[in-house]
Amino acid sequence: MLHLTLFLVFGAVCLAGAINLLVQRHPINSALSLVAVMAALAGEYLLLGAEFVGAVQVIVYAGAIMVLFVFVIMLLNAGEEERTRGSHIALLIGVPGMLTGSLLIAWVLLHHSGTEAVGIGALPGPPKALAQLLFHDFLLPFEVTSILILIAILGSVVLAAKPEPSQEKEN
């Protein structure tokens, strides 16, 4: 019962943050509601027994990545978003289509999944077991991600660097 209550509380925070992200017009408000979503998701991970994933979620996602977003918002001095009118056909077809699709998926999930309960702490996710898996079975993907990160660092430095003065004159 306690687990269900905690799940519902964290889930409500998640949903409120996600909807607030859509409704808010200033990007900084959207960024802060996204931080709330990520923190609540860390709570859900703790409920699922994935304590290390929850900690990394708070540190990497809610910490590092969102700081990057907020930093860019402040750097570019982003103001309120200007709304443009969308097409009416998209609204007429898209909203009922999305509603039927999501209701169908929810119905299938609620009625046809082997509804075995996920218990709290059923699967201990201690850092030791995760490290065994990550550095033994998934060693190659792990090394590949390090190359990916290296390329991403180089790419962002090249993209965000100021153009050289000689090039600026040509432009």
Partner 1 sequence: MVPLHYYLVLSGILFACGVTGFLIKRNIITIFMSIELMLNGVNLSFVAFAAHWHALSGQVFVFFVMVVAAAEAAVGLAIIIAVYRTRETLNVDKVNLLKL
Q: For residues 92-121, which are near partner 1 according to CB under 8 A? A: 98, 102, 105-106, 109-110, 113, 115-120
Shortest CB 46 distance to partner 1, Å: 10
Q: From CA 20, how far away is CA 34, in angstroms rounded? A: 9
Q: How far is the CB of 166 from partner 1 (least distance, A)?
A: 17
Residues sharing a CB contact under 8 Å with residue 55, sequence separation 6 or more, in sequence order: 42
In angstroms, what is the minimal distance from the CB of 113 to partner 1?
A: 5
Eight-state DSSP code of residue 70: H
- Return the half-sphere exposure (C-beta side, CA atoms, 13 A cut-off) of residue 61: 15
Q: What's the full length of the chain, in residues? A: 171
Site for partner 1 in 50-69 (CB under 8 A): 50, 52-53, 56-57, 60-61, 64-65, 68-69
Q: What is the dihedral of CA 111, 98, 22, 77, to 10 degrees?
A: 130
Tokens (6 digits) for 120? 């709290």
Q: Rounded to the nearest whole angstrom, what is the least distance from the CB of residue 50 to partner 1 in the complex? A: 5
Residue 139 engages partner 1 in binding (rule: CB under 8 A): no
Under rule CB under 8 A, how many of the chain's residues touch partner 1?
77
Min CB(164)–partner 1 separation in Å: 14
DSSP assignment letter at 1: -
Binding to partner 1 by CB under 8 A, coded x per residue (else -) over 10-49, reads -x--xx--xx-xx----x--xx--x--xx--x--xx-xxx
Q: Does 4 bind partner 1 (CB under 8 A)?
A: yes
In DSSP notation, 120-131 reads TTSS---HHHHH
